[in-house]
Amino acid sequence: MMTNWQAEAEKIRPQLLLDLKSLLQIDSARDVAHKTAEFPLGPGPAKALQAMLGLAERDGFNTLNVDNVAGRIEYGDGDEIFGLFGHMDVVPAGPGWTTDPFTPVEKDGRLYARGASDDKGPSIAAYYALKLVRDLGLPVNKKIHFIIGTDEESEWVGINRYLEQEPAPDFGFSPDAEFPIINGEKGIATFAITFKPQPAASSALTLTKFEAGIRVNMVPQTATATLTGTAPEALTALIEQKNTEPGITVEEGRTDDGVIITLTGKGAHAQEPKDGINAATHLAALLTELDLDPTGHQYVEAIAAHMHEDSRGHLLGIAHEDAVMGELTASPDLFSYDPAGEQTVMLNVRYPQGTDPDTIIAAITKTLGADHVSVAVNGHAQPPHYVSGDDPLVKTLLRVYEQHTGQAGHEQVIGGGTYGRIITRGVAYGALMPDAENVMHQANEYMTIDSLIQAVAIYADAISQLAK
């Protein structure tokens, strides 16, 4: 008899929400400033991992904790390992929330909290799907390893540590993106653009500080500049004009020796910078209208001329497009300026096959000038990843999606990076529906509760078919 997966998923709605809310209450942003030998990525990620594994232990699953940076929930047996890949860390809450980001709130069928859609909500959906397969006693002829990381939003220390110590799955999916499937992911690298001081010259204003951004994969929502000297009368008019632009708010504060300007835009996930309004590049564009010192002018001019409202990297000379993977995206996300110290921009780039970090570095250096900047990869670069649409994994997942939704499935490539790319035959699969608003990495992140329950049904069906 065919299993009515949607009906089975509805039965667990109350318990799923109870468990999910318990996870969402944990601020699990990577916090190495407070790391210890016991908690290498900070206490929050470890606490969330332990809580997730605790749910599985409560329900009778075998679990494994790898150094409090990664974990595993186990079921089944066989020669092959089928992997599920989720993560318990979140990006920092950031500004702009109308509710406490770590106090889950249900409203109008939505569950609001940091991590609701990325990735605690989808991970819980996949967990309950696995539990349904087990509880219904369906045949499983493979080992199923639900692997959980704790710094997917940054350096992937957890998942890399796991793979150093434990066997990699043969195939699998990550519930950390959108339906119908993500079988291709662009390469990801963050480039540190460091500016070189310029010879001094007289000017009306000196830029003494420019700050924006909280993570390299988040479009900055706010930016602040501090200037000393005599602010021109025209500044007020410039700010008033900027305030007429949609989605932008500029505030000016006078100090004893100058002015502080704060601009607020809209945050977004760096995989699609167009979804946000980059506060830093807008503020830089405003500052180019002022008589700034040479070093400060160099900094804001480069941002305004080569990074402002150009999410495809044309102005930096790094634009590239691939027939399968689409366009390169470029998102300047972290800004730090001190005339006597660091003067940097962290540029997050999602690049298709056909280009690479060395090519991108050479192009940025040529555009901005080697006399003005140095450019280097910050952290680790991830190459592009693609699983053919002819792979049985992709075919099965698309068929299951079509059967549950009545919508045609299709291949898809994104600029986001998921744990699906850690194995050759790995993809991302849901939980966001194609017509749903993507609020990952944004203020007031939410997931519709009905879509989570539907994801449980889809995941359970997919797990049952792939593991039998």
CA-to-CA separations, 138 to 169, 368, 464, 467, in angstroms, rounded: 21, 60, 7, 10
Residue-level pLDDT at 1: 62
Question: Helices 234-242 and 279-287 meet at what angle, rounded to 10?
Answer: 150
Q: Which 8-state DSSP code applies to residue 274?
A: G
pLDDT, tens only, 56-91 = 999 999 999 999 999 999 999 999 999 999 999 999
- Phi, psi of 259, rounded to the nearest 5 degrees: -150, 150
Q: Percent helix, strand, coil in the chain (nearest 5)? A: 30, 30, 40
Instruction: Please say if the pLDDT value at position 233 is more than 90.
Output: no
Q: What is the pLDDT of residues 288-332, one digit of tens each?
A: 999 999 999 999 999 999 999 999 999 999 999 999 999 999 999
Catalytic residue among 8, 19, 31, 89: 89
pLDDT confidence band for 109 (50 / 70 / 90):
very high
What is the rounded average pLDDT of the residues 220-241?
94
pLDDT tens per residue across span 384-405: 999 999 999 999 999 999 999 9
pTM listed for this prediction: 0.85
Q: Encode burial over 421-453: b for 16+ CB neighbours within 10 A, e otherwise.
A: bbbebbbbbbbbbeeeebbbbbbbbbbbbebbb
Q: Is residue 234 packed enough to be buried (19+ CB in 10 Å), middle (13-18) or exposed (0-12)?
A: exposed
* Burial annotation 274-295 (CB, 10 A radius, 16+ → b, else e): ebbbbbbbbbbbbbebbebbeb
Residue 251, pLDDT > 90, answer yes
Measure the CA–CA gap between 144 and 329, rounded to whole angstroms: 35
| Model pLDDT, residue 309 | 97
Phi–psi pair at 456, nearest 5 degrees? -55, -45
Phi (first) and psi of residue 125, to 5 degrees: -60, -45
In this structure, are residues 335 and 280 in contact, taking their beta carbons and an 8 Å threshold?
yes
Q: Parallel, antiparallel, or unpaired: how do β-strands 105-107 and 110-112 relate?
A: antiparallel
d(CA 444, CA 440): 9
**113 confidence band (pLDDT: 50, 70, 90):** very high
- Catalytic residue among 8, 67, 118, 152, which? 152
Bridge partners, residue 373, by sequence:
195
**Cα first-last separation, the chain:** 16
pLDDT for res 416? 82
Give the model confidence (pLDDT) of 17-43 as tens digits: 999 999 999 999 999 999 999 999 999
In whole angstroms, what separates CA 409 from the centre of its chain?
Answer: 24
Residue 236 CB burial class (10 angstroms; 0-12, 13-18, ≥19): exposed
Give the per-residue pLDDT at 405.
97
pLDDT given at position 407: 97
- What is the homologous superfamily of the domain 5-184+384-467 according to CATH? Zn peptidases (3.40.630.10)
Where exactly are the structural domains of the chain?
5-184+384-467, 188-382
Q: Are 5-184+384-467 and 188-382 in the same CATH fold?
A: no
d(CA 68, CA 31): 13
403-460 confidence digits (pLDDT tens): 999 999 999 999 888 999 999 999 999 999 999 999 999 999 999 999 999 999 999 9
Query: Who's near 55: CB < 8 A, 6+ residues apart?
Result: 19, 127
Q: Is the pLDDT of residue 200 over 90?
A: no
- Integer Cα distance of 121 and 446 in angstroms: 9
Active site residue 358: no
Whether residue 275 lies in the annotated active site? no
Closest CA to 294 of 197, 364, 210, 390: 197
Render pLDDT for 344-361 as a digit per residue (tens, 0 to 9): 999 999 999 999 999 999
User: How big is the CA angle at 15 (ends 9 and 21), to the nearest 5 degrees?
Assistant: 115
Q: What integer pLDDT is reported at residue 417 of this predicted model?
A: 87
Beta strands at 81-87 and 143-149: parallel, antiparallel or unpaired: parallel
Q: Does domain 188-382 have CATH number 3.40.50.450?
A: no
* Per-residue pLDDT reduced to its tens digit, 139-193: 999 999 999 999 999 889 999 999 999 999 999 999 999 999 999 999 999 999 9
